[in-house]
Structures are given as C-alpha cells and as structure tokens.
Amino acid sequence: MAQHNSHRLPVRAQLPTRQAGTAARGLGGAAVLGTVVLGTAFTGASAQAAPAAPSAPAAPAAAAPATADAAPSVAPSAALNSTQKLRWGSRGGAVQELQSALNSNGAGLAVDGVFGKRTHAAVKDYQSSKGLQVDGVVGPKTRAALNGGVSTGGASAPSSSASSSSSGSSSTIVNAARSAVGTPYSWGGSSLGGMDCSGLVNYAYKAAGISLPRTSGQIANGGRWISQSQAQPGDIVAWSGHVAIYAGNGQIIDASGSKQRVVERSIWGNPIGFVTYR
C-alpha cells in the first residue's frame, strides 16, 4: 500500500508541472500573440498617420488661387491714354484706342485710326447713352467715361495749355483766312488758286495744324455747337450749305458764291449756329 501510494504521488506531482508547462506555453503563445497583435496595431496606426502628412501640402494649393485671383486686379488699364481732344478729322493711334473703346461698348467700328462719319456717330451715341453733352467731340468727360469714370491724371494740366494753344490757333486761323481774301471762288477748291467755302475753312485750319472734314455739312456737324456769345475768333459760323471763319466783332471771312471771291464782311442772313473745334 505504501509503495502504491508513493507511485501515484509522482504522477500527481507531474500533473501540475504539465499544467504549468501548458499554461506557460499558453501564456507564451498569448504573449507572442499579444506582441504580434499589439505590434501590428501600432504599425497600422503609424502607417495611417503617415498619409496624413501629405495632406499638409494642400495648404500651398489653396494659396495658389489667391495669387491667381490677385493678378487680374492689376490688369485693367485706361482705354484712352491720350489726353488730346479727338474729333472728326483726327487720325492716329489715339483714334484707334477710341474706336476700340467704342467697340467694347457695342459700336462695331473698323479700327483704322480715322475719325470719320461712323466714329463721329458712335461717339454721339455713346455720349447720349451716358447722359453726356452730345457733340461728337471726345474731351475730358467723354474720355473719363470711356476709361470707367476716372479721368487720366494729366487731364487738368492740358486744359490750361489747351487754352493758350487755343488763343494761338485762333490768330493763326484768322490770319490764314485773311491771307486768302480776294482768292477767286472755285467749287471744290481749297488753295489760293481758287476755293469754295469749306475749302477756305480747311485751308485756314490746316495752317493751325487742325484737320477738318471736307464738306460744309460735315464741318458743321463735326464740331461742338456753341452760342454766338461763346464764339471766339477762329471758330466757324454755319448756314445751311455754307460755312465761314468767325473773325470776331460780328465779322466773318468766307468764300462767297455770290461775290465769286473770298471776302471779309459782317455776318449776313440767319446762320444756323456757331461751331468750335476747341
């Protein structure tokens, strides 16, 4: 009996050892498994955190449109850069700028740099649409409207120089017209060999460096209508089908069809008005 019991005790003593070994292996397996699981979990977390870093460069992408948006605000510029008055007969780059500006307002002009009948009519239409004085002359107010309501910086300075140049051109125009007194009347002529009424006006204005339309009707419609009290020597007196140079003090110089020569005389009949190109 004693030997039998002693034989069983070792078996019982081994059982806890096996269970402990199994438990150790189980714990070992759990520990390894735990390491793998935890390691994978941390590895996965760091892998997911890494893609978040590329999202940071999205900030510069948002800044780029701001630069693109800022650029157009600097782009607009004045439609008319010149401060000179433009009217029927004007030519050159300033007229091309005017025609382009009128086209942007629906005019549909040929941009040829020649201020003729169509450009004159387009200017009048534009002035009417903006509530400006409808005279077909592009001065400071019309230019400012075409430039978006802001006059160019030098607009006020030329007005004083224009005034002195105007008085200079006045005497030049009147003196040139007087130099033609006695010239025979010739329909369609514009020289001292012979001239008609519009030919005399063109001859006198050309001496002052001012280009005018050729016919009496175009000359009358191409300038700005003024009252007799506003008229200065060198301005134009207009009748239906006839024009003359105003010499001041109620006097005119004109190529008279009835007298068949250029004469200086008092204003006769009933002129339809006075026209200035200044």
Full domain range(s) for residue 225:
164-276
In a domain, 77, yes or no: no
CA 249 distance to own-chain centroid? 43
Distance in angstroms (rounded) separating the CA atoms of residues 103 and 168: 35
14/99 same-domain check? no
Whether residue 137 sits in one domain with residue 201 = no
Q: What's residue 19's pLDDT?
A: 45
What pLDDT, on the 0 to 100 scale, is given for residue 183?
Answer: 97
Give the number of domains in the chain.
3
Rounded to an integer, what distance in angstroms lies between the CA atom of residue 9 and that of residue 171?
A: 147
What confidence score (pLDDT) does residue 90 get?
86
Contacts of 253 (CB under 8 A, 6+ apart): 174, 177, 178, 180, 181, 200, 204, 244, 245, 247, 262, 263, 264
Residue 63: inside a domain:
no
Residue 87 inside a domain? The answer is no
Q: Note whether 252 and 246 are within 8 A (CB).
A: yes
The SS3 assignment for 147 reads: coil
Asked whether residue 159 is domain-assigned, the answer is: no
Q: What is the pLDDT of residue 164?
A: 46
pLDDT at residue 78 in the model: 63
The enclosing domain of 254 has a CATH number of 3.90.1720.10
In this structure, the answer to whether residues 133 and 175 fall within a common structural domain is no
Give the pLDDT confidence score for residue 137 in this predicted structure: 86
**Strands 242-248 vs 251-256: parallel, antiparallel or unpaired:** antiparallel
Shared-domain flag, residues 107 and 197: no
pLDDT at position 23 is 41
Residue 79 lies in a domain: no
pLDDT tens for each residue of the chain, 278 residues long: 444 444 444 444 444 444 444 444 443 444 444 444 434 433 444 444 444 455 555 544 444 444 444 444 443 456 888 777 888 888 888 899 999 999 999 999 999 999 988 998 999 899 889 888 888 889 888 988 998 864 444 433 344 444 445 656 899 999 999 999 999 999 999 999 999 999 999 999 999 999 999 999 999 988 999 999 999 999 999 999 999 999 999 999 999 999 999 999 999 999 999 999 87
Residue 28 sits in the same domain as residue 99: no
- For residue 124, being part of any structural domain is answered with yes
Q: Look at residue 47 and tell me if it is in a domain.
A: no
Residue 269 and residue 172 share a domain: yes
> Do residues 192 and 183 make contact, with C-beta atoms less than 8 angstroms apart?
yes
Count CB atoms within 10 A of the CB of residue 254: 27
If asked whether residues 231 and 266 sit together in one domain, one would say yes
Q: Are residues 207 and 254 in the same domain?
A: yes
Specify if 234 maps to a domain: yes
The Cα-based distances of 82 to 116, 154, 211, 261 in angstroms read 19, 9, 18, 40
